[in-house]
Amino acid sequence: MNFSTPAQELPRIGTIYQQRLKKLGIKTLGDLLFYFPERYEDLSRIKKIKDIKINEEACLIADVMEINQEKSWRKKMSITKAFVQDDSGIIQIVWFNQPYLSKSIRKGNKLLLNGKIAIGKEGAYLSSPSYEKINSEKELNLSDAVHLGRIVPIYAGTQGLSSRWLRYILKPLLSAFKNKIPETLPKKILDKHGLPGLEESLWQIHFPDSIESAESAKKRFLFEQLFFISLSTLQKKIKLLETKAPSFPANLPLIKKFLKGLPFQLTEAQKKAVWEILQDLEKNYPMNRLLQGDVGSGKTVVAAVAAINIIKAKGQTVIMAPTEILTKQHFQTIFNFFKDFNVNIGILTGKTDKFYSKKLKSDTIEVSRQKLLKMVSDGKIDILVGTQALIVPSRKKSAEKNKVKFKNLGMVVIDEQHRFGVKQRAVLAGALPGQPIPHFLSMTATPIPRSLALSIWGDLDISVINQMPKGRKKIITEIVEPDRRKKIYDFIRKEAKEGKQTFIICPRIEPKDPEEQKKSNWFEKIEMKTVKEEYEKLSKEIFPDLKMEMLHGKMAPKEKDLIMKNFKKKKFDILISTSVVEVGIDIPNATVIAIEGADRFGLAQLHQFRGRVGRGDFQSYCFLFSDSGAKKTNQRLNALAKYDDGFKLAEMDLKIRGPGDFFGVKQWGLPDYAMAALKDVELVSIAKESAKEIIKGDPSLKKYPIIKRRLEGFEENVHLE
């Protein structure tokens, strides 16, 4: 039996329980042993019978004097009664509807009991307590107890898997592995930071001697996860330095000409980011840089400076965006930047049969996919903008034929995709072993807290644009109570009459059907505004005098494009939408965004929504509609109303909600306890330094075979890309 032993082969676990464990992601013995409690109950304080008070929950040790089963006078309920005693007194126990107890508990048994004292016609009794038998033939040792008389682990379970059952399974398994679990961390690191060993930690996290012991074990596992994250990113960085990439020396006269032709001046933060990227491009190993910038801070122009430098050195650039709307917006923005330069730009998406190439100083030319792909492979397209269709061919039967291949790809720019590693870049590059890997620039408009960025993206260099263009007005943000809703509607009408436009955001497209609604959890049953319902209500009852449209992800790409074009052309006043407008929608004339169910969104997402307005010269407003009184909700909404700095808000979101809500990182495979560790800046720093210490003297980990195997397993199960 080892960590990879399938769960169904373990003692006491059959097919039924194996299926239930699978729902929790537990498939092997290792998964089970590393399925940690979410909290603990302290049931270690044992009381004497004479000291127990009415309505008090108490834990006691007593001997069974007698036990009987009877029916209630209505014969609808079985009642099991017992009398137990310790050296201070006797008390009655009453269990309801548990007839099997009269067979499993016998006179003379010694029991650990936990329950509340109630008063009945016959006096005080212990009401339906939980119990555990104790071996009365050997000296009492509460560390042998599993469910009571100790610090008791409570697990997040699923239907048919209680914490009691998990404890029942785990304790003998841990006993079976005593002195057999190999340590995964070097002793010098454990000693240096006062961390317990792996075997002791597994015992103490599941069956702790004290709350302090449980916390110490938890810290060890948090450290271990951060340590392996750091090792993984450091190794990737080392491998990247050994990889060849094309070198593009900075063409300063060309860059000055490009910047001079822009209708605005770069901020100091933009200039710094440009310089960092240009320095990276001169190196003969791949740039691996994350460009962080708040909504509207001007990241695209920074990428454009790098692109013109590469193009004039006979290299190509590809820009990948998450949505068709954002892709087309990038295409237009890039076209405008390069209209005075001899540059060819192409666009490729997967949801439409239309593909375009744009030869500057002429109109857009519509071409077939095959023709566009040939132009790219021949090096005739300098910049290719696209969705994930760039790396996922649309027709499976002709995958090779539809593959994007470049003649001389110099740089890959990923917008709002956050983590694309060497393998994904190689797909874009069509790179073969021994061929140069392109430089890589990842852009995000969702500011990432520095502690999170350093731990998860340790192999990336980070550039930050923390300044907004001059003249940008601060967006006025207000939390709207239900009784102020009419005033906001009146304000929206006033703005529309002055020729300005409004976004209204709803959490859902349409109501759930009745059957689906029955299955919803309590939170989802809270009334949620939906796009279709709100469109009907507002267009007929509130704004019959205004022009309105709705937008959501289920619409066809052509329909979405037409709606956004018409909105930009001011053909209607109000757009009701889902979160599809979160990224990349640029409507300079929009001055109001009203967010229904604002409590349904995280701070980072709310800040992204807010960035849809304030892009023109007018004063803009963000109204947050929420009926929730939850403390965390109020914290988030008040923070958004107070701060407009995305980095400050990201730090607060990290504290309030945790890192698992950034970019869907819960899908990375990290357990919840490891996600929580990312909030601990000090522990992140210690783990990173420890990883550097190990890798500095032994990059290939030859001296640490256990760490090497553990790291390989870690990278297989955790997907940081």
Handedness of CA 680, 158, 213, 690 (dihedral sign): negative
pLDDT classification of 515: cutoffs 50, 70, 90:
very low
Model confidence pLDDT, tens digit, residues 249-273: 999 999 999 999 998 899 999 999 9
Report the distance separating Cα 603 and Cα 307, nearest Å.
33
CA pair distance 698, 711, nearest whole angstrom: 14
pLDDT for res 520: 42
Instruction: Tell me whether residue 302 is in a domain.
Output: yes
Instruction: Reply yes or no on whether the pLDDT at 89 is more than 80.
Output: yes
- pLDDT at 88 > cutoff 50: yes
Reported as a pLDDT band with limits 50, 70 and 90, residue 170 is very high
Instruction: Give yes or no for residue 523 having a pLDDT over 50.
Output: no
- Closest C-alpha to 616, from 585, 636, 639, 588: 588
Written as one string, the DSSP assignment of 626-638 is -----HHHHHHHH
Within 430-470, where are the H helices?
A: 450-456
| Better-predicted residue by pLDDT, 124 or 553 | 124
Both 127 and 64 in one domain: the answer is: yes
In a domain? residue 182? no
Q: Higher-confidence residue: 28 or 452?
A: 28
What's residue 237's pLDDT? 83
Q: Which range, of 20-34, 170-184, 447-461, averages the lowest pLDDT? A: 447-461
Burial 230-266 (b: 16+ CB within 10 A, else e): bbbbbbbeeebeeeebbebebbeebbeebbeeeeeeb
- Separation of alpha carbons 69 and 101, rounded Å: 8
Is 161 found in the same domain as 134? Answer: no
133 HSE (CA, 13 A, CB side): 11
Q: 343, 336, 288, 337: which is closest to 314 by C-alpha? A: 343
How is residue 579 annotated by DSSP? G
Considering its fold, how many domains does the chain have in total?
Answer: 4
Strands 78-86 and 89-96: what pairing?
antiparallel
Question: What CATH number did the domain enclosing 585 receive?
Answer: 3.40.50.300
Q: DSSP for 16-56?
A: HHHHHHHHTT--BHHHHHT---SEEEE---B--GGG--TT-
**Domain shared by 53 and 27, yes or no:** no
> 682 in a domain, yes or no?
no
- Judged by DSSP in three states, 77 sits in coil
Contacts of 186 (CB under 8 A, 6+ apart): 694, 704, 707
The per-residue pLDDT for 389 is 78
Q: Are residues 256 and 351 in the same domain?
A: yes
Regarding whether 140 and 159 lie in a shared domain, the answer is no
625 shares a domain with 488: yes
**Which of 137, 167, 197 is a domain's end point?**
167
Residue 89 pairs in a beta bridge with 86
Residues in the chain, overall count: 721
Q: Is 408 exposed, middle or buried (0-12, 13-18, 19+ CB in 10 A)?
A: middle
Is pLDDT at 554 greater than 70 in this prediction? yes
Rounded Cα distance, 231 and 228, in Å: 5
Contact status, residue 533 vs residue 540, Cβ threshold 8 Å: no
Task: Answer yes or no: are the C-beta atoms of 506 and 596 closer than 8 Å.
Answer: yes
- Mean pLDDT on 501-524: 60
Q: Model pTM?
A: 0.70
Q: Are residues 348 and 408 in the same domain?
A: yes
According to DSSP H, which parts of 401-556 are helical? 422-429, 450-456, 485-497, 514-519, 531-537
Burial class (CB in 10 A: 0-12, 13-18, 19+), 559: exposed
Burial of 154 (0-12, 13-18, 19+ CB in 10 A): middle
Same-domain check for residues 413 and 495: no
Starting at the edge strand that comes first in sequence, how are the strands of the sheet with 590-595 ordered? Answer: 476-480, 621-625, 590-595, 501-505, 574-577, 548-551
pLDDT tens digit string along 188-235? Answer: 999 999 999 999 999 999 999 999 999 999 999 999 988 988 888 888
Considering 421, 444, 467, which residue would you say is the last residue of a domain?
A: 444
Specify the pLDDT at position 85: 94
426 with 495, same domain: the answer is no
Taking the C-alpha atoms of residue 551 and residue 559, their distance in angstroms, rounded to an integer, is 9
H-run or E-run covering 248? none
Residue 422 falls inside a structural domain? yes
Question: Dihedrals φ, ψ of 322, to 5°?
Answer: -75, -25
| Integer Cα distance of 669 and 664 in angstroms | 11
Specify which residues 40 forms β-bridges with: 153
C-beta of residue 437 within 8 angstroms of C-beta of residue 431: yes
Q: In this predicted structure, what is the pLDDT of residue 161? A: 87
Tokens representing residue 354 in the block: 């239309």
The residue ranking higher by pLDDT, 544 or 634, is 544
**pLDDT of residue 173 exceeding 60:** yes
- CA dihedral (536, 542, 545, 546) in degrees, to 10, reads -70
The answer to whether residue 18 is domain-embedded is yes
Residue 704 maps to a domain: no
Q: Look at residue 16 and tell me if it is in a domain.
A: yes
- Regarding predicted confidence, which is higher, 488 or 706? 488
Residue 287: inside a domain, yes or no? Answer: no
For the chain, the C-alpha Rg in angstroms (whole number) is 32
Q: Single out the residue of 443, 466, 415 nearest to residue 650, CA to CA.
A: 466
In this structure, the dihedral spanned by the alpha carbons of residues 504, 510, 516 and 519, taken in order and rounded to 10 degrees, is 10
If asked whether residues 109 and 136 sit together in one domain, one would say: yes
Q: Has residue 124 got a pLDDT over 90?
A: no
pLDDT exceeds 90 at position 495: yes
Q: Look at phi and psi of residue 284 and say left if phi exceeds 0, alpha if psi is from -120 to 50, else beta.
A: alpha
499 and 588 in a single domain? The answer is yes
- Domain termination residue (choose one: 395, 421, 444): 444
Positive or negative torsion for Cα 393, 398, 400, 406 = negative
Percent of the chain with pLDDT over 90: 34
Positive or negative: CA dihedral 122, 124, 129, 135: negative
Tokens coding 302 = 């920074």
Q: What is the mean pLDDT of residues 689-693?
A: 90
Neighbours of 34 (CB within 10 A): 15
pLDDT at 322: 79
Whether residue 544 sits in one domain with residue 500: yes
Q: How confident is the model at residue 419 (pLDDT cuts 50, 70, 90)?
A: very low
The neighbour count for residue 80, using CB atoms within 10 Å, is 21
According to DSSP, the residues that pair with 503 across neighbouring strands are 575, 593
% the chain with pLDDT above 70: 81
Distance in angstroms (rounded) separating the CA atoms of residues 149 and 142: 6
The residue assigned the tokens 């007593």 is 62
Structural domain for 99, as ranges: 45-146
